[in-house]
Amino acid sequence: MAMMRYAEALRSALREEMQRDPSVWLMGEDIAVYGGVFKVSKDLMAEFGPERVRDTPISEQTLTAMAVTAAMSGTRPVLEIMYADFLPLSVDALMNQASIYNYIWNGQVTMPFVLRTQGGGGAGAGAQHSKSLDALVAHIPGLKVVAPATAADAKGLLKAAIRDDHPVIFLEHKLLYNTRDEVPDGDHLVEIGKARIARVGSDVSIIASSKMVVDALKAADELAKEGISAEVIDLRTLRPLDRETIKASIARTHHAVVVNEGWCFCGYAAELSATIMESCFDDLDAPVERVATHDIPIPYSEPLESTVLPDANKIAAAARRALA
């Protein structure tokens, strides 16, 4: 085990996979010479050269479409989209191209590419650089969507994503890059599609992903002081969703709080809520509580931004409502 920052864990995953497989290459804006605006790909161009670590023009729509077809024709691109807020530019390539070909072409092609991006608020980056667009990509059949909350999962999931033969959208969070935790040594892989119990509890299940797991754990600490035992599920993968872990948890706790940093209306938390209603209805002792971002552009000033974003206090309050 080694203590590692989230960003370092990602870099170590990229480096190991590029060393292991010469068909893996990276492209994105400012990722090569500068090493990425969040320094995830720092030093990799020096190690692997400018053909495998490519700076690109600011052309997200085309770059995403290129990743799709490059992946069909013998290489494994890892595309960095600097901010999740730019994902709408990628959506045609994801929704009309990547998502369809394996099925529509009757299995003639696979598309082993990874689209890495980072989202999330709390950094005062304003309405075009703070969004969590999990629902936008998790809506699309044929894509896998992962959103690690810890350095260990960041590394293990990125390595698994690069090895996956289907498109994987890899959602990072800007406020997690500097968080540290233990990362297992060696060829550490985390299976896509498997959630993790981040904290065991018996009274209420808090289901979250990415940075919201950090907030959920803080909320669980607060709730524990009140005698409430909260279980925190870190989904890790948003699509395909690990229903079984959710079901098993709610069968024990009978109360659910679903959390997502995206907008509330038609958001990922709504999908979680629907899933729970479909598969855990008879186990529920209270309505599912939903915590998500206000349906409004994310404002700049601190008191405004903190009002609209979910946090530990809002999660704890939701848990209390569920248990009322």
Partner 1 sequence: MKNSPTVDEQLDMLGRMVAVRHLEERLGELHKAGKTRGPIHRCDGQEAVGIGATAMLDDEDLLTSTHRGHAHYVGKGVGLHPIVAEILGRATGACAGRAGHMLIADVKKGLLGGNAIVGGGIPAATGFAVSLQMKNRADGGQRVAMCIFGDGAAQTGICHESMNIAALWKLPVIFVLEHNQYGLTAHHSTQSSVPDLSVRAAGYGMPSEIVDGNDVIAVHRAVGAAVERARRGEGPSLIEAKTYRMVGFSTSDVGGYQKDEDLATWRERDPIVLARAMLADAVPAERLDAVMAAARAEVDAAVEQALGDPLPVFAEHAPSAPYTVAGA
Partner 2 sequence: MSHEITLAGGAGEYMESATVVSWAVEVGDPVRAGDVVVVVETAKAATEIEAGRDGVLAAILAPEGAEVGIGAVLGRVADGLDADEVTPVEPQPAVAEPEAAVPNALAKAETAGRRVGISPLARRLARQAGLDPSGIAGTGPGGRIKSRDIERVLRERAEVAPAIAPIVAVPSPGVAGTGSAAPLVLLHGFGANAAAWNMVRPHLDGRPVLTPELPGHGREPALASPSLEALAEAVLGQIEDSGARECDLVGHSLGGAVAAVLAGNQSVRVRSLTLIAPAGLGPEIDGGFLAGFLSARTAESLMPWLERLAADPARLPRGYAKAVLRERERFGVGAAQVTIAQRLFPDGTQAIRIAADLDRFAGPLKVIWGKGDRIIPQRHQDDLPGHAACHRLGGVGHMPYLETPALVAQLIIQNVRSAKAS
- Residue 173 known to be catalytic: no
Measured from the CB atom, is 185 or 282 closer to partner 2? 282
Task: Choose from partner 2, partner 1, none: what does 170 bind? Cβ within 5-8 Å by kind.
Answer: none
* Residue 223: C-alpha distances to residues 17, 48, 231 (Å): 41, 48, 11
Phi and psi at residue 281, to the nearest 5°: -50, -50
In DSSP terms, 197 is beta-bridged to 233
Measured from the CB atom, is 278 or 282 closer to partner 1? 278
- Parallel, antiparallel, or unpaired for β 2-5 and 180-183? antiparallel
Residues in 35-54 that interact with partner 1 by CB under 8 A: 51, 54
- Nearest approach in angstroms of CB 151 to partner 1 is 21
Query: Which member of 16, 17, 60, 305 is catalytic?
Result: 60
- Comparing CA positions, the residue from 212, 208, 171 lying closest to residue 311 is 212
Phi and psi at residue 99, to the nearest 5°: -70, -25
Residues 6+ apart with CB under 8 A from 106: none
Task: Choose from partner 2, partner 1, none: what does 284 bind? Cβ within 5-8 Å by kind.
Answer: partner 2
Largest CA distance in the chain: 59
Measured from the CB atom, is 244 or 302 closer to partner 2? 244
Question: Judged by CB under 8 A, which of 32, 133, 151, 160 binds partner 1?
Answer: 160
- Comparing CA positions, the residue from 80, 206, 191, 89 lying closest to residue 144 is 191
Q: Kindly state the number of chain residues that form the binding site for partner 1, as judged by CB under 8 A.
A: 52
Interface residues toward partner 2, by CB under 8 A = 251-252, 254, 281-286, 321, 324
Measured from the CB atom, is 314 or 320 closer to partner 2? 320
Place of tokens 């038609």: 266
Task: Choose from partner 2, partner 1, none: what does 283 bind? Cβ within 5-8 Å by kind.
Answer: partner 2
Query: Does 153 help bind partner 1 (rule: CB under 8 A)?
Result: no
Question: Judged by CB under 8 A, which of 40, 152, 154, 192 binds partner 1?
Answer: 192
- Residue 305 known to be catalytic: no
Terminal Cα-to-Cα distance of the chain (whole angstroms) = 42
Query: Which member of 129, 188, 254, 255 is catalytic?
Result: 129
- Nearest approach in angstroms of CB 69 to partner 1 is 3
The whole-angstrom separation of Cα 207 and Cα 80 is 27
Query: Does 258 help bind partner 1 (rule: CB under 8 A)?
Result: no
Measured from the CB atom, is 160 or 288 closer to partner 2? 288
Residues 6+ apart with CB under 8 A from 167: 68, 71, 94, 98, 99, 111, 112, 113, 114, 115, 142, 143, 144
Q: List, by residue number, the catalytic residues.
A: 60, 129
Judged by the rule CB under 8 A, the positions of this chain that interact with partner 1 are: 22-23, 25, 51, 54, 56-57, 59, 61-63, 65-75, 77, 92-93, 96-97, 99-106, 108-109, 141-142, 144, 160, 164, 166, 191-194, 239-243
